[in-house]
Every structure is written in C-alpha cells, then in structure tokens.
Amino acid sequence: MTGESTSRSFIKSKNKYGWLFVSLALILLGVFLFYPIVYSLYLSTTSSKGIVQKFVGFGNYVKLFQDSMFILALKNTLIFFLIQVPVMLFLALILATILNDKTIKYRGLFRTAFFLPAVTSLIAYTILFKMMFSLDGFINNALLNVHLIKSPIPWLLDPFWAKVTLIIALTWRWTGYNMIFYLSALQNISDEIYEAAELDGANKVKQFFYITIPLLKPLILFTTIMSTIGTLQLFDEPMNLSQGGVTSATIGPGNSLLTLSVYVYNLCFKYMPNFGYAATVSYAIVLIVAILSIIQFKVMGDKK
C-alpha cells in the first residue's frame, strides 16, 4: 500500500479527515439521538405532575403492573403482533414463491401491483380504510351485495371488528413490501435445487416448506424483527382509525386499538402530562422489542 516513509504522517492526517467527515453526523446523533435515549432512561425514574418533578427510582416500573391502561395497551399490541405479523409474512412468502415461478404470466405487473400499497403514506391509507370500513361504507355494501353477510358488520364500532379492521389494513399496506425482500432472495436460489426436488417426487407444497422456507430463514428473521419493531411502534393507524383522530376520547371502541405508543403519546399530550411515567412506558417498549428480538434470534437464527 503506502510507502514506509510517508505512512506515519499520512495515517495521522487520514485520521483527522476521518473525524472531519463523520463529525457533523456524530454531533447531530449525539444531541438528537444519544442524549434523548439516555435522558429518557433518567426520566423514567422520576414522576412529574405539571412542573414538579421528583425522583421515584423503580417506582414507575412497579406502577406499570398495576396500571390497567398499560396492561390493556400491552395486550392489544401483542395481539396485533401475534396475529398480524405471521399472517402478513406468510402471505408475502406465498406471493413471492408464486411470482418467482417463471411460467407465470404478467409477473412484473403483479409484482408492481402488490408493492403499490407500500408507497402510500400511513395516514393516507388509514383514512382511506376508515372510509371504506364505515358502517354503510364500501366494504359492507359489497359484502351485502354478494350475500356474504346478512347485516352490516360494525367494523369500527365494535372492539373485536375494530381489531380485525386494523389487521386487514396493516396487512394490505405491508405484505407487498415484505414480498419484495423474499422475491429478491428467491431469485438468487438456483432452479436446480427445485428441479432435483421435483425428480425426487416432492410436490410444490413440500418444496415450499422444505426448500424455500429454510433457505429464506435469515431473511424471514430480518423481516420478522423489522415487523416486530414496527408493530410495537404502531401509532399512525390506531390513532387515525379512531372516531375523532388525535382528540378522540378512546382509541377505537372501548380502547380496543390503544397501543403502547399511543398510550405514551396520551400520557404526554392528552392527560395531565407525566413525562416521567411516559418515559417508563417507552422504555418498556424498548425492553419488549429487545426480548422479542432475542427470542426470534434464538428460534430462527442458527449460529449466526
């Protein structure tokens, strides 16, 4: 590489330039990322009513377990996570597998169409779904017309159906997005593996479970973790599916759409602000993300 004589002074000036190039980003990240994360950890040990702030140690963390609103938000969030994420990723895998078959016609068209929902803003599609799923709205009309249902489904007026609506909406928005990841990985798998399996008498379903899924495991892990973080942060959708948006008294009927992130927001900006306790709830989210990611790594990641 560089000659012996020049190397020392060069390395020194190189080091200077290295810091120069990264400095702007490091300063900004320090102020707007590192400091808030650390400060929020400190905040989580305090309690505030208005402007009075006092140290309570682990008090807030104990309070979490007695807070029925927190428990409800946690339960709702976990339901969305446990049902929506597997359904969506499975659907994405199936679509990617089908579109990877070169004998299928119009593959490009289907791929573009399935991906299209991923370009909409979260607010735009949420409001769109809110309109489509209103009591006398498009979905109920369509279902009534084809005689699938006898009376309109109270999509956004009933706690159970409100959850179903949110799950449908999320699946619509994110399936194609995840599909693109799988599709690009599938294109790197050689056809010979499948041809060999075909010769051995494995049908398409067997090939899917014994070849496709194992080969995509790292990517499935990646998308699962990304979706976990996304689900734990659910905010835009539940907030805007609710009757009055940000100002609504409950998030969905009977708070059925209250998620952890919405609860943090409400603690800060809707009720009498208690930033300390809100920080505690937000750290609970960080903790849950960490735990779920570790579990997912243990279950799916072999060695690396």
Q: Which stretch binds another protein (CB under 8 A): 12-20, 52-60, 81-89, 206-214?
A: 12-20
Find the part of the chain contacting another protein (CB under 8 A) among 50-58, 78-86, 148-156, 285-293: 285-293
Query: Mask: binding to another protein, 199-238, rule CB under 8 A, as x and -?
Result: -----x--------------x--x------x--xx-xx--
Q: Are 49 and 272 in contact (CB under 8 A)?
A: yes
Q: Does 132 bind another protein (CB under 8 A)?
A: yes
Asked if 61 is part of the footprint of another protein (rule: CB under 8 A), the reply reads no
User: Which of 29, 62, 149, 295 contacts another protein by CB under 8 A?
Assistant: 29
Say how far apart CA 163 and CA 77 lie, in whole Å: 10
Task: Write out the binding residues for another protein, residues 36-55 only, by CB under 8 A.
Answer: 36-37, 39-40, 43
85 touching another protein, by CB under 8 A: no
Burial pattern 116-152, b for ≥16 Cβ within 10 A else e, equals ebbeeebeebbeebbebbeeebebbeeeeeeeeeeeb
| Structure-block tokens of residue 223 | 């998308």
* CB-CB contact of 133 with 139 (8 Å): yes
d(CA 236, CA 259): 10
* Residues 90-129 contacting another protein, CB under 8 A: 95, 98, 104, 109-110, 112-114, 116-117, 119-125, 127-129
287/260 Cα distance (integer angstroms):
12
In whole angstroms, how close is the CB of 115 to another protein at the nearest point? 8
Least distance CB 113 / another protein (angstroms):
5
Q: Are 98 and 184 in contact (CB under 8 A)?
A: no
Q: Residue 296 has which token pair?
A: 């997912």
- Tell me the window of 80-88, 136-144, 150-158, 209-217 that interacts with another protein (CB under 8 A): 136-144
